[in-house]
């Protein structure tokens, strides 16, 4: 079945550092999404990508839709303590009723 791979499971960085996460698949996806989930909350959509090669920013966050359509990257610049949480990638293939497939998520910790 379709799977999205996110690794490592956890990342630890120092406040102020930049961090990059990627999401890969053996299948082609036509849409990539990045969500963040805070403890005890539901996932919140950060960035949506719709075209191969697309690079989109949202404040300190930048995400790219890989050229092969099998991967996506999320970069967070100048991290701050409130960036802690779980970052999920999600992808959707073609088809009007295709489902979103989620990765397992990466837990980000930011040391002050």
Partner 1 sequence: ETGVTQTPRHLVMGMTNKKSLKCEQHLGHNAMYWYKQSAKKPLELMFVYSLEERVENNSVPSRFSPECPNSSHLFLHLHTLQPEDSALYLCASSQDQGNTEAFFGQGTRLTVV
Binding part of the chain for partner 1, among 11-19, 58-66, 67-75, 97-105 by CB under 8 A, reads 97-105
Main-chain phi, psi angles of 96, to 5 degrees: -60, -30
97: contact with partner 1 by CB under 8 A: yes
Nearer to partner 1 among residue 33 and residue 76 (C-beta): 33
Nearer to partner 1 among residue 31 and residue 64 (C-beta): 31
Binding part of the chain for partner 1, among 16-24, 44-52, 53-61, 70-78 by CB under 8 A, reads 44-52
22: contact with partner 1 by CB under 8 A: no
Whether residue 6 is preceded by a cis peptide bond, meaning omega within 30 degrees of 0, is no
User: Residue 106 in contact with residue 6, Cβ under 8 Å?
Assistant: yes
C-alpha to C-alpha distance for 14 and 37, rounded to whole angstroms: 20
Q: What is the dihedral of CA 41, 110, 102, 30, to 10 degrees?
A: 120
Nearer to partner 1 among residue 87 and residue 88 (C-beta): 88
- 59: Cβ contacts below 8 Å, ≥ 6 apart: none
Choose which of 52, 61, 77, 102 interacts with partner 1 (CB under 8 A).
102
Contacting positions for partner 1 (CB under 8 A): 4, 9, 31, 33, 35, 40-45, 48, 50, 88, 92, 95-105
């Amino acid at each position: 079945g379709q799977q999205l791979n996110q690794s490592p499971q956890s990342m630890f960085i120092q406040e102020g550092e930049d961090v990059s996460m990627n999401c890969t698949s053996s299948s082609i996806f036509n849409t990539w999404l990045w969500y963040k989930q805070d403890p005890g909350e539901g996932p919140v959509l950060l960035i949506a990508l719709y075209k191969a090669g697309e690079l989109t920013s949202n404040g300190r966050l930048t995400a790219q839709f890989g050229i092969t359509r099998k991967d996506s990257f999320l970069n967070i610049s100048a991290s701050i303590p409130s960036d802690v949480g779980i970052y999920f990638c999600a992808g959707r293939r073609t088809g009007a009723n295709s489902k979103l497939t989620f990765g397992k998520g990466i837990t980000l910790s930011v040391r002050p």
